Amino acid sequence: MKSKGITKCIFVAALAWLVITILCGMRVHAADMNETNDTGVAEGVLKQLETDALLVTGRSDDADVALELKSGDYVFVTSEDDEWYEVYYQGDTLYMSKSVAVSEADISDEIDAELTGMQATNDAWIEEYQAQVEARRSVVIWRIILVALVVAFMAVTAYMTYKKPRTDNDDGYTGADSEDVLSETQSNQLPNT
């Protein structure tokens, strides 16, 4: 009788483990949940090329050519040394020889408008990302709550199922055994001889 109860307990525990595994089977990376966007702005000077120029991948004459620019094009110079300009161009850090003639660029209203539009787009992306992070957190919280409720329900069900039924009445009468009642009924039905 006890082995049957133990088997039932093991079955309920395995079922609870299965439900918890299924409900919590998602992957949550702490780095994803706590990641923040760095919205720092690159510092530098916008310059206009007065002659054609080559942008290279390193501060060397032997470096690979990444891009050819024409006179009149704009570059964003982030730093410089005696021989090279460090240029931030279309998401890449490239280098340009200081032998190229450049002048300070006159930033027009169009460039200001474009930068303002880009900032608005970046802000919208950041807000969307933060909303997604909050949504992921909500999903995690609700899954934990659901798992806790399922486990609590299973525990109460197991307790109620395996709780020993009480056979004693309040007056101490334990009741007759079903075989005793059957034999007594049969003996009352026999004809008296």
Are residues 12 and 63 in contact, defined by beta-carbon separation less than 8 angstroms?
no
**Residues 45-106, CATH architecture:** Roll (2.30)
Q: How far apart are CA 13 and CA 6, in angstroms?
A: 10
Q: Where are the domains of the chain?
A: 45-106
Helix (H, G, I), strand (E, B) or coil at 64: coil
pLDDT, one tens digit per residue, over 148-166 is 898 888 888 888 887 766 5
pLDDT, one tens digit per residue, over 63-72 is 999 989 998 8
Nearby residues of 151 by Cβ (< 8 Å), 6 or more positions away: 16, 19, 20
Residue type, 190: L
Going by the DSSP 8-state scheme, the letter that residue 128 receives in this structure is H
pTM (two decimals): 0.37
State yes or no: pLDDT of 26 exceeds 50: no
